[in-house]
A and B are shown apart, each in its own frame.
Chain A
């Protein structure tokens, strides 16, 4: 298949994606019930007060990296929690605050039992007596499926561990691990100063494992099929497949499951290919990076994206049509960042507010050279200066926008004109309403 693109992108042939693992057997309206699930997956080992290091070694052999955004080696995190004093806690992070991401919701809606198996397995691995699953309370379908799955289990086989499901506030940083932990401790869903990190002192002050729900479900796959099977997909350093939400100007926006290292263009092809001439792709999510369309052959992996200053993040590919202004789209995202600040750190509160205002001027073709310099300087200066990495996301996206949309920028600066048709492409939600 050939991809029509805004600039010169070579014609590519893409292979179809291998069969799903995490979403095997799922169709748009399906809910995989316990009876069906247990035909493939045996009951996970019951958690006890003692860690099971063999399970941790298994995840180490599989080379599993976290799917929540940072790509941290799962076995290392499991070990850090297991080595802490008991009782320990497991938190399943299903908050999915990244607006263009739907993969965790999709996973929980269709295959909730795999997530629960993974959470129970993680509790057995670290020796935890309690499991808390956090799902954004606005993600109704996912929450209902998880609730139904839990009811199915408690009425039949039991869970073997104290496991609770909680609807979390719809705020971006509520999914940041310290924010989620503070909320579970009865406070606002705002990040806290580190150290201590949750693995040292988390829920109720206990060593706490915070793991993304896709990571947990993948742990259940690895426990069932083994590390060699897992490594049949992906790359030696980044094994396995992962869920990616592909949207924007594509045939059929969808969540796909692809081997890590699949070219970005192949991910777009998997959902029907480009639906328009494209000018750029956003990878990783709002907490991500703009890439030019001539980067469509780049493997979607940490190693592949690193040379471009990008990373896979939460598993998002968003195709921007050439009819949109990338600067205007970015301005709307930066304003979302400002609105989602937890209001705790000066550079995040004031820096994001001012950056958002000035970048909007750039997007509206009303900025001068000095303003542009200020935007660049602020983007550099807010980075790394919050308690959490929230401001860093805005800084990175802005920097990539100024590079990838440099032609647009020149036009904005020299003629005061914008070629965008004014129709917004990115769906940017309004700021959340509550921190509890």
Chain B
């Protein structure tokens, strides 16, 4: 079974902060405006919201990683 976690590419990320607005259950911003993402596997009922945040990152820095 494959499960999903959220990952940020810190080089690509420029701190727009949109992800934290769209998915505040999972992502908060540090003192400099960069996302701190919870490392745990995303529960099924939040997966759509995670995908929504990924789709809306202007820097394409957020992605869902498949882990076995």
Interface residues of A (CB under 8 A from B): 192-193, 344-348, 350-351, 354, 378, 381, 385-387
**Which of A193, A351, A354 interacts with B9 by CB under 8 Å?**
A193
Q: Which residues from B are CB-within-8-Å of A344?
A: 10-11
CA distance A354 to B34 in the complex (A): 14
Q: Which residue of B lies closest to A350 (CB)?
A: B32
26 A-B interface contacts by CB (under 8 A): A193-B9, A193-B11, A344-B11, A345-B10, A345-B11, A346-B10, A346-B14, A346-B15, A346-B32, A346-B33, A347-B34, A348-B10, A350-B32, A350-B34, A351-B30, A351-B32, A354-B31, A354-B32, A378-B31, A381-B31, A385-B8, A385-B10, A385-B30, A387-B9, A387-B10, A387-B11
For chain B, residues 4 to 63, give those with C-beta under 8 angstroms from any C-beta of chain A.
8-15, 30-34, 36
In the complex with contacts A192-B11, A344-B10, A347-B10, A385-B32 CB distance below 8 A? no
Whether A386 pairs with B36 at a CB distance below 8 angstroms is no
A381 to B10 Cα, complex, angstroms: 14
Q: Is the Cβ of A347 less than 8 Å from the Cβ of B30?
A: yes
Q: Give chain B residues whose Cβ lies under 8 Å from the Cβ of A385.
A: 8, 10, 30, 34, 36
Q: What residues on A are CB-neighbors of B15 within 8 Å? A: 346
A351 to B10, CA, bound (A): 13
Chain B interface SS verdict (over half):
loop
Chain B: residues with Cβ within 8 Å of the partner, total of 14
Contact status of A346 and B34, CB under 8 A, knowing A192-B11, A387-B9, A387-B10: yes
User: Chain B residues near A348 (CB, 8 Å)?
Assistant: 10
C-alpha gap A387/B32 in the complex (Å): 17
- Minimal Cβ-Cβ distance residue in B for A342: B11
Complex alpha-carbon distance, A87 and B13, angstroms: 34
Distance of A351 Cα from B32 Cα, bound (Å): 7
Instruction: Assess the B9–A381 pair: CB atoms within 8 A.
Output: no
Least CB separation from A345: chain B residue: B10
Q: A192 to B14: give the CA distance in the assembly, Å.
A: 15
What's the Cα separation between A192 and B11 when bound, in Å?
8
CB distance from B32 to the nearest CB of A (A): 4
Task: Looking at the assembled complex, report how far the CB atom of A143 sits from the nearest CB atom of chain B, in whole angstroms.
Answer: 30
- Looking at A348, A351, A385, which has the most chain B CB atoms within 10 Å of its CB? A385
Contact, CB under 8 Å: A193 / B12 = yes
Once the chains bind, are A347 and B32 in contact (CB under 8 Å)? Answer: yes
Q: Closest 4 interchain pairs by CB?
A: A345-B10, A346-B34, A350-B32, A344-B11
Q: Contact at B13–A346, with CB atoms within 8 Å?
A: yes
- Nearest-neighbor residue (CB-CB) of B36 within chain A: A381
Q: Write the nearest CB–CB distance from A325 to chain B, whole angstroms.
A: 27
How far is it, in angstroms, between the C-alpha of A351 and the C-alpha of B29 when the chains are bound? Answer: 13
B10 pairs with A386, CB closer than 8 A:
yes
- Complex Cα distance, B36 from A347, in Å, reads 10
Nearest-neighbor residue (CB-CB) of A385 within chain B: B10
| Additional A-B contact list (17), CB under 8 Å, known A345-B10, A381-B31 | A193-B12, A344-B10, A344-B11, A345-B11, A345-B13, A346-B13, A346-B14, A347-B10, A347-B30, A350-B34, A351-B30, A354-B31, A354-B32, A378-B31, A385-B10, A386-B10, A387-B10
Report the separation of the CA atoms of residues A93 and B65 in the bound assembly, to the nearest whole angstrom: 30
Cα separation A15 to B29 with both chains bound (whole Å):
53
Minimum CB–CB distance from A429 to chain B (whole Å) comes to 25
Beta-carbon nearest neighbor of B13 in chain A? A346
Output the least CB separation between A385 and chain B (Å). Answer: 6
Q: State in angstroms the CA–CA spacing of A378 and B36 once bound together.
A: 12
From residue A173, how far is it (CB to closest CB) to chain B in Å? 12
- Contact residues in A for B11 (Cβ distance below 8 Å): 192-193, 344-345, 387
Inter-chain contacts of B33 with A (CB < 8 A) = 346
* Beta-carbon nearest neighbor of B34 in chain A: A346
